Amino acid sequence: MTQEQDAETIDWGPFGRPLFDGDAVKGLSRVGVVDVGSNSVRMVVFDGAARSPAYFYNEKIMCALGAGLSETGHLSPEGRTRALSAIRRFAALAEGMGILPLTAVATAAVREASDGQDFRDEVLRETGIKLWVIDGQEEARLSAQGVLLGWPGSYGLVCDIGGSSMELADLADGRVGRRVTSPLGPLKLREIKGGKKAVKTYVSEIMAGLHADMEQETGMRLFLVGGSWRAIARIDMERRGYPLTVLHEYRMSSRQISKTADYIAKSDLGELRLRANISDSRMSLVPLAVVVLKELMRTFKPKDVAVSSYGIREGMLYEQMPRELRERDPLIEACRFAEAKDARMPGFGRILYNFVKPLFPRANWQRKRIIKAACLLHDVSWRAHPDYRAEVTFDNATRANLGGLKHYERVLLGLALMNRYTNKPDSSRYEALFAMLTTDQIKEAEILGKAMRLGAMLWLTPDEEPGSLKWSAKSRELVLTLTEHARPLFGEVAEARLGALANALEATATVRFKG
């Protein structure tokens, strides 16, 4: 039987067979995209786990291509020079990486400028890259698809703010619906005459029209896409002393946004940008972006707000995926890729998941995916020094580029992996992060980690179950049943790890052997 035929016969459980290494997605193993925006020009190269955006390369140049566009009708001469230089560099990098041709799109500034076509011709002549100009509706669609890359099946409103425009797109049942575009980008707002009052009036009028066009109900989830929104979120983190500075999936309430708006208004922007690690060019646009965000919140009244680091570029990757791949869980696919690349015995994560899942009989699908992710990642950090392995696993889980994870779930996953490698997780260094979990969640992470720690002693092959666990919460009994093949693996270290798991469960442990 070939390896491919054998893979077809394996029961992959509730998550399905991994697709990142299948024939249908081999072309997605490394994809390069360029986004020429009104404020920045960025190249991203996605690598490896096609369903979840693993960033092989990511570089951004702040060019302000659309600065002064409303007054002159032309692209900024300085911005144009800088943008061309950036694209020339990106083309050279792509050639060295062997990923030509790049997929390149340009948004509001290039599509609106009278010399936009001339700039596109120059880019093609100088670099060989063809810039595709997309309209506002397409920009909104791609941004929404970027959100779907991170949150399959999402619903709500996607708001993407760029330098010269702001787009809205409706999501329902994991599909992009109604879309609108507007001139509410900070670069354009900066050129409005009449001061702050005139800007607020203009934003309010435009936003009212967008609300009417979208026919959007209040009380939905709002996904924020774009550098200005991320800058505001980073300032919100700084104001709150938030312990996990991962922007993707960061949540803000209306009250928090209001407090942060006041905080920005009262702060010295130069000092604030240094504390929040924001570039000077980005920080200069934040006060205007705050005006737009406050009006967006007042008009659409979302029930909650989630920051998405995924936008147009990730939407372009999503565009190239087959439907079956789009519907996969990005977290599980990314963890599978990590296991295949870095684990000592790829495939054992599935065995380990089946081994530990009887300990969590009431886990819903959301919790099961965290357990599955932990099992897939349980051995990918084995190269780290033993003294730091537990910390490395925690840092990787909480700070890695993993989609489909709420912030507290990152900490839960990290703590479970930390318990996989040590019986005494260091609570002092990570105390602020552990505070994001409830007492029950901390105990759950301990049990999962100790169960994986035991299971790691019972390696056979990626296709052979070493045994099973049976757990009765009512009688407080934990039974480990091992196959005859696994009997020699149950030595004194495995026995001690079984005892540690039993203690975490406040149970008595029994060992049995089949046959």
Least confident of 21-25, 78-82, 333-337, 414-418: 21-25
Please state, in angstroms and rounded to a whole number, the distance separating the CA atoms of residues 489 and 487: 5
Q: What is the pLDDT of residues 175-195, one digit of tens each?
A: 999 999 999 999 999 999 999
H helix runs in 357-491, sequence order: 365-377, 389-399, 407-421, 431-434, 439-455
Q: What is the pLDDT of residues 282-314, one digit of tens each?
A: 999 999 999 999 999 999 999 999 999 999 999
Fold of 328-462: Hypothetical protein af1432 (1.10.3210)
CATH number given to 137-314: 3.30.420.150
Structure tokens at 344: 């000592």
Sign of CA dihedral 467, 473, 475, 477: positive
pLDDT band at 3 (very low <50, low <70, confident <90, very high): very low
User: What is residue 325's predicted lDDT score, i.e. its pLDDT?
Assistant: 83
- In the chain, CATH 3.30.420.150 covers 137-314
Strands (E), 243-338: 251-252, 304-308
- In the chain, CATH 1.10.3210.10 covers 328-462
Entry field: residues in the chain: 515
Q: Is the pLDDT of residue 38 over 80?
A: yes
pTM, entire model: 0.89
Element containing residue 59 per DSSP (H, E): strand 55-62
Q: What class is the 21-133 domain? A: alpha beta
Q: Please state the rounded mean pLDDT for residues 26-31.
A: 68
Over 132-186, what HEC string results?
Answer: EECCHHHHHHHHHHHHHHHCCCCCEEEEEECCCCEEEEEEECCEEEEEEEECCCH
Please state, in angstroms and rounded to a whole number, the distance separating the CA atoms of residues 116 and 257: 36
Q: In what order do the strands lie in the sheet with 156-161?
A: 175-182, 166-172, 156-161, 221-225, 304-308, 251-252
Structure tokens at 30: 């490394």
Q: CA Rg, the chain, in Å? A: 25
- In the chain, CATH 3.30.420.40 covers 21-133
